[in-house]
Structure 1
Amino acid sequence: MVSTGDDAPDFTAPLANGDVAEFTLSEHLDDGPVVLAFFPAAFTGTCTTEMCTFQDQLGGFEDVGATVVGVSVDLPFALNEFRDQEDLTFGLVSDHEKELIEAYDVWTSMPDLGVEGVAERAVFVVNSEGEITYDWVGENLGVEPPYEAVRDAAADAE
């Protein structure tokens, strides 16, 4: 897994932002740190809670100049519906080809549900130089990230 101090794998992927656009990580780093919040699946309990909590705390991230982006293997059209239903204003990256969960090494499966290849719940803060300055991976899919620590890490990202 990539971790603090590593270069963040750059990527270009579909971004659900009310429409479907292209998101390239390296093109957003000059705007301030980027928080990549990987989550297993839209429309599920903990994932919905997590994305809604990021939305509720979005002002704190914006205050420190950070951009929050959710990342899941869902198709961009499903992610746009998820954004609409949950009133999310930040973008959600579609890793439907599962390249990002492989590059960031946060690939997991849920064999009890017959699901192969979803994102572990993980958060990475990437600074303007493309370096990961914070990483967190949940010990299981039901654990939410430490939002305050993520915001503090975004504030400290240089």
Structure 2
Amino acid sequence: MKSSLFAAAALLSTAFAMPSFAALKEGDAVGNFKAQASLAGKSFDFSLADSLKKGPVVVYFYPSAYTGGCNVQAHTFAVNADQFAAAGATIIGVSLDSIARLNDFSKDPEYCAGKFPVASDADGKIAKSFELNVKDGAAGIKDTRGIEINHGFAERTTFVITPDGKVANVIGGLAPAANVEQALVAVKALSAKK
């Protein structure tokens, strides 16, 4: 089992470390998306347009709940959620996980801890609208709980979106915790411009 977990971690960390050259760029307009999301284990309908009315939105794509780097990234966002909120920003994580997996992940005190929502992009359409690579899942890969992952993976990339629906920052190619740190720097810079 440990070798299976190690193989999954290696695949997910290397396959999605670098951002796609085709990803949306700074200044690009982002289309609205709606998705089923989970906050603290409860499903709801998320709308990017509604969230942008409150301020900037950090949209972070990650390969899969309950995998090494994604666990670190979710935990780091949760620990820093108050700082994002103080800068006026909303956080939404997006993966190809089912809403059932995300209900567990969103309330897990070790990861999202009910501090921010995560959205299900089961068909990969949201990730593709951000021009991210979406890869098919590989048979036999298990998450850190030992449960088989039966979905595809979007590459780990974070977008900071301004209230007018434009990309302010694209963050990729960094370790999960550094990705969150850079997103926080970006939203604080936006807040300082007000």
Could you state the TM-score of these two structures normalised by the residue count of structure 2? 0.73
Query: In the aligned structure 2, how far is the partner of 1:42 from the partner of 1:151?
Result: 21
Once the two structures are superposed, residues 113-144 of structure 1 have per-residue CA deviations (whole angstroms, 9 ceiling, x without a partner) of 448741100100011100110001227xxx32
Please list every run of at least 4 consecutive aligned residues from structure 1 whose deviation after the TM superposition is greater than 4 angstroms.
none
Residue type of the alignment partner of 2:119: V
SS at match of 1:15: strand
Contact 1:109 1:116 in 2 (8 A): no
The answer for the alignment partner of 2:181 in structure 1 is 148
Query: In the aligned structure 2, how far is the partner of 1:90 from the partner of 1:120?
Result: 20
Single out whichever of 100-109 and 5-14 deviates more from structure 2.
100-109
Whether 1:84 and 2:110 are equivalent positions in the alignment is: no
Aligned length: 154
The answer for the alignment partner of 2:124 in structure 1 is 98
Once the two structures are superposed, residues 37-91 of structure 1 have per-residue CA deviations (whole angstroms, 9 ceiling, x without a partner) of 1100001111001000000111111110101111100011110101222323210
Residue type of the alignment partner of 1:109: K
The answer for the alignment partner of 1:118 in structure 2 is 153
Residue type of the alignment partner of 2:74: M
CA distance 1:58–1:116, shift in 2 (3 Å)? closer
Residue type of the alignment partner of 1:27: D
Select which of 145, 160, 167 maps to 1:132: 167
Contact 1:39 1:71 in 2 (8 A): yes
The answer for the alignment partner of 1:4 in structure 2 is 26
- Please identify the structure whose Cα radius of gyration is greater: 2
Residue type of the alignment partner of 1:125: V
Contact 2:61 2:94 in 1 (8 A): yes
The answer for the alignment partner of 1:45 in structure 2 is 68
Residue type of the alignment partner of 2:180: Y
Q: Which runs of no fewer than 5 residues in structure 2 stay unpaired?
A: 1-22, 140-149
Contact 2:171 2:182 in 1 (8 A): no
SS at match of 1:146: helix
SS at match of 1:77: helix
Q: Which has the higher strand share?
A: 1
Query: In the aligned structure 2, how far is the partner of 1:108 from the partner of 1:12?
Result: 18
Identity level (%):
29
Query: In the aligned structure 1, how far is the partner of 2:151 from the partner of 2:51?
Result: 30
Could you state the TM-score of these two structures normalised by the residue count of structure 1? 0.88
